[in-house]
Amino acid sequence: MSRNLKIGIGIGLIALIGLVLVLGLLIANLGAIAAWIGFDDAGNLNGREGAIGLLLNPEARVNNVVQCADDAGCSALWPIIFAAGFAFVIVTGFAYATLLERRLLAFLQHRVGPNRVGPMGFLQPAADGVKLVFKEDLMPAGADKWVFRLAPMIKVIPILMIAAVIPMGPDLVLPWFAPSLGDVWYQVPQGLIDSNVGVLWVIAITSIATYGVVLAGWSSDNKYAMLGALRASAQMISYELSFALTLAIPVMIVGSMAIGDIIDAQRNIWDWFVFQNPLAAAVLILALLAETNRAPFDLTEAEQELTQGYMTEYSGMKFALFMMAEYLGMIAVSLVAIAVFFGGYHLWPMDGLPILAPVIFILKVVLMLCGMIWIRATLPRIRYDRLMMFGWKVMIPLALLAVAWTAVAVVVGDSLGGAAYPIISGVVFVLVLVLGAWALRRVSRDQDSEEAIPLEDDPAYTGERRGLGWALVHLVGMLIAIPLVHIRFQVRALEGLASLGRTPEEDRVLESGETALKRAGD
C-alpha cells in the first residue's frame, strides 16, 4: 500500500468519524431543530412560527431582528468570533498561496511541482512550516538583538491591519435561540472595522510595513541587508504617490472614504470602477506589485546582487515571518484592488445571498494572485535605475492623468446630470487611448532614429536639474523640509529666550565647551 493511499484512508476515516458525530448531535437535538423550523407537537408545519415563519412573515422577521451594535453581548462577542475565523482563513490562505505559486509556476514552466507530501502535495505548506520551526534560529554577532527580533513583527502586523477595514460581505442575519428571549435574529457585519476613513487607513498602514524592512536591514549588521533595506525605502517612496493618487479616484466617484460605501457603489458589473477608469486600475495594480516587492519589482531581495536582501541574516521562524509577510501582502493588496476597482464581493447572480459574499471575494483574490504569479513567471527583473525612472517619470504622470480623467468626468457629469457621466468618461477614455498610442509611436520612432545617449551625458546619471521627475522630487523635498525648518526656527527662538537669563561667564563657558568638572581637573 502506497504512502499517499494510507494518508488518504486516514483522512477519510477522520471525515467519517466527524460525520457520525455531527449526525449524532443532529439526532439528539432533533426536537429543538423541529421547533425552530416551525413544526408543532403534532408534526405539522406552522407557517407563522419558527424559522419558516420568520422567512414567510416579513413583519415578524423585522420585529425580531436586532442590530449587533445595539446589543452589548453581540457587539462584544461577534468581533472575537469573526476575528478568529478571519485569522484562520488568512493564515491558511498564506500557507496555500505558497503552494499555489509553486504549482502554477511549475505548470507555466512545464514542470511537475510539489506532489509528494500528502495527496497531490496539499500538505506541502505544513511540511514547510514544520521544517522552519525546527531550523536553528541564528543571531549575527554584530546585530542589534531587540530590533533584529522586532523587525519581522513590524513587517507582518501592518499587513493584517490593512485587511481589517475591508468588509468581506454585506451584513448577515444570524439566528440566536434563547428560551427567555424567543427567536432573535442578529444582523452582524462581515468585517472587523467599519471605518469612515478606510481609504486613508490603507494608505497610512501600507507605509508602516516598510519600517520592518529598513530595521531588518539596519539591525543585521550586513551590507547586503542594508542595501536591500535602502532599496525598499526608495521603492516605497517612489510608488506610494501613484498608489495614493489612484485610490483618490473611487473616493471622487463615490464621495466617501469608507471602503464599504465604495464596494456598494459597484453592485453591477458595468458599475465596476475598472471599466470607468481602466488606466487608474492598471496604475494601482503596478503600484501594489511594487509595494509588495514582487517581480518584476523585487529589487530588494535580488539574489544575484544581494544574496537574499534584507532577509540575508534571518533563519528559522523569523525568516518564516518575512515570507509570511510577503504572501500576506499579496493577499492584502489583492483585497484592496478588488474592493476599490473590481466590485468587491458583488457578482451577479449571487448578490442576493450574503453568506456567499466572502466566497466570491476569495475567488476574486485567487484570480488576482494567479495574475501576480503569471507576471513573475513572464517578466524579468528590471534594472534599478529604470525602476526609479518608471516610478517617477511614468507612473506618477499616468496617475495624475487618471485623476484628471475622473475629475473632468465627475464635474461635467454632475453639471449635465442623468447619464452624462458614463458618456463623458467614455469620451475621455477614447482621448487617452488615442493620445497614448500617438505618444508610444513617437517614442519608438525617436528611439529608432536617435543614437543612444552616453551614460556620462544622461540626466539620470549626471543629476541635471530638468524634467518632470526632478521637479516632483524637488516639490516633495520642499514639503518635507517645511516642518523641519519650522522646528529649527522654534528651537532657535527658545535658545534665544534661554540666553536672556544667562550671565556673560555662562555664555563664555557654553561657547568654549568648558565644564566645572574640566576646570576642577585643570
Whether 430 and 498 share a structural domain: no
Q: Are 119 and 4 in contact (CB under 8 A)?
A: yes
What's 185's DSSP letter? E
Whether 299 and 170 share a structural domain: yes
| pLDDT average, residue stretch 39-46 | 52
Q: CA separation (Å) from 252 to 197, 218, 486?
A: 14, 40, 33
Whether 167 and 119 share a structural domain: yes
Whether 171 and 212 share a structural domain: yes
- At residue 466, the pLDDT reads 60
Residue 437 lies in a domain: yes
Whether 432 and 473 share a structural domain: no
Whether 215 and 141 share a structural domain: yes
| Res. 190: pLDDT tops 80 | yes
Q: Which residue has the higher pLDDT, 344 or 422?
A: 344
Residue 464 lies in a domain: no
**Number of domains observed in the structure of the chain:** 3
| Res. 356: pLDDT tops 50 | yes
Q: Are 135 and 314 in contact (CB under 8 A)?
A: no
What would the pLDDT profile of 203-216 be if each residue is shown by its tens digit? Answer: 988 888 888 888 88
Whether 335 and 477 share a structural domain: no
Residue 69 lies in a domain: no
Model confidence, pTM: 0.72
Whether 332 and 211 share a structural domain: yes
Q: What single-letter amino acid sits at 277?
A: N
Distance between CA atoms of residues 290 and 330, nearest Å: 11
| Res. 365: pLDDT tops 90 | yes
Can you give the residue range of the structural domain that contains 418?
Answer: 83-444
How many residues in total does the chain contain?
A: 522
Q: Got the DSSP string for 89-123? A: HHHHHHHHHHHHHHHHHHHHTT---S-SSSGGGTT
Q: Are 306 and 227 in contact (CB under 8 A)?
A: yes
Residue 61 lies in a domain: no
Whether 269 and 348 share a structural domain: yes
Whether 163 and 310 share a structural domain: yes
C-alpha cell at 238: 517612489
Confidence of residue 180 (pLDDT cuts 50, 70, 90): very low
Whether 234 and 357 share a structural domain: yes
| pLDDT average, residue stretch 149-153 | 88
Which ranges of 220-349 does DSSP label H, i.e. alpha helix?
223-254, 259-264, 273-276, 278-291, 303-306, 316-341
Whether 319 and 202 share a structural domain: yes
Residue 522 lies in a domain: no
What would the pLDDT profile of 294-315 be if each residue is shown by its tens digit? Answer: 878 887 777 777 777 788 888 8
What would the pLDDT profile of 477-522 be if each residue is shown by its tens digit? Answer: 676 676 677 677 777 777 777 776 666 776 666 666 555 444 445 5
Torsion angle, alpha carbons of 450, 455, 459, 463, to 10: 180
Residue 450 lies in a domain: no
Residue 462 lies in a domain: no
Residue 62 lies in a domain: no
